[in-house]
Structure 1
Amino acid sequence: MKIALMNEFSQASKNAAVLQELQAVGAEQQHSIFNVGMSDDNDHRLTYIHLGIMAGILLNTKAVDFVVSGCGTGQGALMSLNAHPGVTCGYCIDPADAFLFAQINNGNALALPFAKGFGWGAELNIRYIFEKAFSGEKGQGYPPERKESQVTNAGILNQVKQAMGKDFLQGLQSLDQELVTTAVGGERFQTCFLENAQQCPLKDYVRSIIAA
């Protein structure tokens, strides 16, 4: 599985610590990790608004399979990512959240609070979150006897979101293009996207923004 980590400006200083734990779990479980957001306070500046655009692009072009995002409380990233078609983001503060989201909701993104409650032992909590989020088969339900209804409802919710939203490419084109330009402006994001995104009109559009 290809997993992207993205930090915005308020929590960019946490990137190295979070990346270290994600890479450790990724190595154990044979996942590829891409650090596509801010790596420190001096990096290409992003807000949680940009994280949503980035996640939508990476997931809808299949450049990655899963996105780990966050902000101070995690709530802004959660709302921003879930605003985009093709992104199903869960809020996660502990390993139980990660396990239940993977089994019940079977989404493709997480939003974590990187400031609130991020104190002593935070690196352990983050590691255990990643272990539960990415190990084993997803969508198995919890408790197991409720799997059928949970899988059905998760699928229906995805259909509702798709029906209620614009086509993703049309949505991006209707945004203030400066938002999109900033979102795709990071070098590591561009490398991940250009090397892994499947060929489609969305890729052509993003490539034209990068080349401009």
Structure 2
Amino acid sequence: MTANRRVVLSSDHAGIALRRAIATHINALGWEAVDIGPTTPESTPYPQHGAAAAQRVASEDCRFGVIICGTGQGIMMAANKVPGIRCGVCSEPFSARMIRQHNDANMLALGARVVGEGLALAIVDGFLSAEFEGGRHATRVEMIAALEQ
């Protein structure tokens, strides 16, 4: 499968069950889920998992990333420290579509303690089905990228 159909998934301990459900769902949609863990429920720091997934996206090994912690906020902050990453936390499908269409987001963060499985799958669907619109939005994404310099 080509890199543009690969989605890396990672979480901290709070997101393991939701991450596994999302991996199954992503595979059923015809994408390749690349689950990089963790696999055990011991407490583990979200920054290392957000950064590890972001590195896979930044290197273009994976087209997108879905990362999960309790709220989605902390793991999103860690991922966004990796140059080239545009990650947003979403709690409903509309925002997930919009971060792709207007911000060319390449990663999605979810809160396992915020959204249930059914809603999380709908959010992932919104994210993966949307396309970047370009146009005036491309100039704004370029402005975001310039902040990394």
TM-score range, shorter chain: 0.7 to 0.9
TM-score, normalised to structure 1, is: 0.62
**Residue 19 of structure 2 is aligned with which of 12, 15, 18?**
15
Q: Does 1:150 align with 2:137?
A: yes
Any runs of at least 4 consecutive aligned residues in structure 1 with deviations exceeding 2 A, and if so which? 10-25
Q: What is residue 38 of structure 1 aligned with on the other side?
A: 38
Supply the distance in 2 between the matched residues of 1:156 and 1:60 (Cα, whole angstroms). 18
The sequence identity of aligned pairs, in percent, is 23
Aligned length in residues:
145
Measured in 2, the distance between the counterparts of 1:56 and 1:2 equals 13
More helix by share: 1
In terms of fraction of residues, the more strand-rich structure is 2
Looking at structure 2, the residues matched to 104 and 47 of structure 1 have their Cα atoms a distance apart, in angstroms, of: 31
Task: Identify which of 63, 75, 78 aligns with 2:61.
Answer: 63
1:8 is aligned with what amino acid?
D
Structure 1 pair 157–33 and aligned structure 2 pair: CA distance change class (3 A): same
Q: Which runs of 5+ in 2 are unaligned?
A: none
| Alpha carbons of structure 1 residues 56 and 20: separation in structure 2 relative to 1, 3 Å | closer
- Answer yes or no: is the 8 Å Cα contact 1:37–1:46 preserved in 2: no
The equivalent residue for 1:177 is none
TM-score, normalised on structure 2?
Answer: 0.86
Task: State the Cα RMSD in Å.
Answer: 1.9
Look at both structures and tell me which one has the larger radius of gyration over its CA atoms.
1
Q: List gaps (5 residues or longer) in structure 1.
A: 141-146, 164-212
